[in-house]
Structure 1
Amino acid sequence: MKLPPGLSAPPNSVCKLERSLYGLKQASQQWNHKLCSVLKASGYTQSRADHSLFTKGSSTAFTALLVYVDDLVLAGNDMKEIERVKALLDAKFKIKDLGVLKYVLGFEVARSSQGILLYQRKYAIDFLDEFGLLNAKPTSTPMNYTAPMSKDAGSPLSDLTPYRRLIGSLLYLTNTRPDISFAVNKLSQYLDCATDIHFKAGLHILKYIKGAPARGILFSTASDLYLTGYSDSDWGTCPDTRRSVSGFCFFLGSSIVSWKSRKQLTVACSFAEAEYRALALATCEGRWLTYILRDLQVPLHRPITLFCDNQSAIHIASNPVADILTKSLASGPFAKIHCKLGMHDIHVPSLREADRRESSS
Structure 2
Amino acid sequence: MRPVHWLLWTLEAKPKGARQRDTLKLKAIRFLLAYATRHDMKLYQMDVKSAFLNGYTNELVYVEQPPGFEDPNNPNHVYRLSKALYGLKQAPRAWYERLRDFLIEKGFKIGQVDTTLFTKKMDNDLFVCQLYVDDIIFGSTNDELCKEFGNMMAKEFEMSMIGELTFFLGFQIKQLKEGTFIYQKKYTRDLLKRFKMDDCKPIETPMATNAKLEADESGIKVDQTLYRSMIGSLLYLCASRLDIMFSVCLCARFQADPRESHLFVVKRILRYLKHTPSIGLWYPKGASFELLGYSDSDFAGCRVERKCTSGGCYLLGRSLVSWSSKKQNCVSLSTAEAEYIAAGSSCAQLLYMKQTLLDYRVKLSRIPLLCDNESAVKLDNNLHIDIRHHFIRDHVAKGDILLQNVGTKEQLADIFTKPLDESNFCRLRSELNVLDARMIM
Range of TM-score over shorter length: 0.7 to 0.9
User: How far apart are the structure 1 equivalents of 2:145 and 2:78?
Assistant: 39
Show the counterpart of 1:210: 274
TM-score by length of 1: 0.79
Show the counterpart of 1:313: 376
Deviations 1:214-254 (A, max 9, x none): 11111111211222211100122112222110001122222
Show the counterpart of 2:239: 175
Show the counterpart of 2:226: 162
CA gap of 1:89–1:191, structure 2 versus 1, over 3 A, is farther
Deviations 1:164-209 (A, max 9, x none): 1211111111111111111111112122222222222212111111
Amino acid of the structure 1 residue aligned with 2:149? V
Show the counterpart of 2:285: 221
Decide which of 67, 88, 94 is 1:30's aligned counterpart: 94
1:39 corresponds to 2:106: no
1:146 corresponds to 2:227: no
- For structure 1, which segment, 289-298 or 202-211, has the greater mean C-alpha deviation from structure 2 after superposition? 289-298
Please show how residues 234-249 of structure 1 align to structure 2 within 5 Å. 234-249=298-313
8 Å CA contact 1:225, 1:299 repeated in 2: no
CA gap of 1:32–1:317, structure 2 versus 1, over 3 A, is farther
CA RMSD of aligned residues (A): 3.1
Decide which of 250, 256, 266 is 2:320's aligned counterpart: 256
1:74 aligned counterpart, secondary structure: strand
1:287 aligned counterpart, secondary structure: helix
1:209 aligned counterpart, secondary structure: helix
1:279 corresponds to 2:343: yes
1:16 Cα offset (Å): 8.3
Show the counterpart of 1:117: 181
Instruction: Determine which structure has more spread, i.e. the larger CA radius of gyration.
Output: 1
User: How far apart are the structure 2 equivalents of 1:243 and 1:93?
Assistant: 53
1:144 Cα offset (Å): 2.2
Deviations 1:107-137 (A, max 9, x none): 0111323211111111111111111222222
Deviations 1:278-337 (A, max 9, x none): 10111111112222222223454x632211111111112699xx9xxx9xx9xxxxxxxx
1:23 Cα offset (Å): 2.7
1:190 corresponds to 2:217: no
User: How far apart are the structure 1 equivalents of 2:253 and 2:293?
Assistant: 26
CA gap of 1:207–1:317, structure 2 versus 1, over 3 A, is farther
User: How far apart are the structure 1 equivalents of 2:335 and 2:355?
Assistant: 31
Amino acid of the structure 1 residue aligned with 2:221? P
1:265 Cα offset (Å): 1.7
User: How far apart are the structure 1 equivalents of 2:249 and 2:157?
Assistant: 39
Amino acid of the structure 2 residue aligned with 1:283? C
User: How far apart are the structure 2 equivalents of 1:174 and 1:86?
Assistant: 33
Show the counterpart of 1:66: 130
User: How far apart are the structure 2 equivalents of 1:257 and 1:127?
Assistant: 24
8 Å CA contact 1:276, 1:317 repeated in 2: no
2:376 aligned counterpart, secondary structure: helix
Q: Identify the structure with bigger relative contact order (alpha carbons < 8 Å, sequence gap 6+).
A: 2
Show the counterpart of 1:75: 139
Amino acid of the structure 2 residue aligned with 1:266? C
User: How far apart are the structure 1 equivalents of 2:79 and 2:353?
Assistant: 48
Show the counterpart of 2:201: 137
**Identical-residue share of aligned pairs (%):** 34
Deviations 1:124-157 (A, max 9, x none): 1111111122222211111122221122263222
1:55 Cα offset (Å): 1.4
Show the counterpart of 1:348: none
1 or 2, which has the higher strand percentage? 2
User: How far apart are the structure 1 equivalents of 2:202 and 2:243?
Assistant: 15
- For structure 1, which segment, 114-123 or 37-46, has the greater mean C-alpha deviation from structure 2 after superposition? 37-46
Amino acid of the structure 2 residue aligned with 1:39? L
1:99 aligned counterpart, secondary structure: strand
Amino acid of the structure 2 residue aligned with 1:132? K
Unaligned runs of 5+ in 1: 330-361
2:204 aligned counterpart, secondary structure: coil
User: How far apart are the structure 2 equivalents of 1:42 and 1:167?
Assistant: 44
CA gap of 1:317–1:216, structure 2 versus 1, over 3 A, is farther
1:98 aligned counterpart, secondary structure: strand
How many residue pairs were aligned?
315
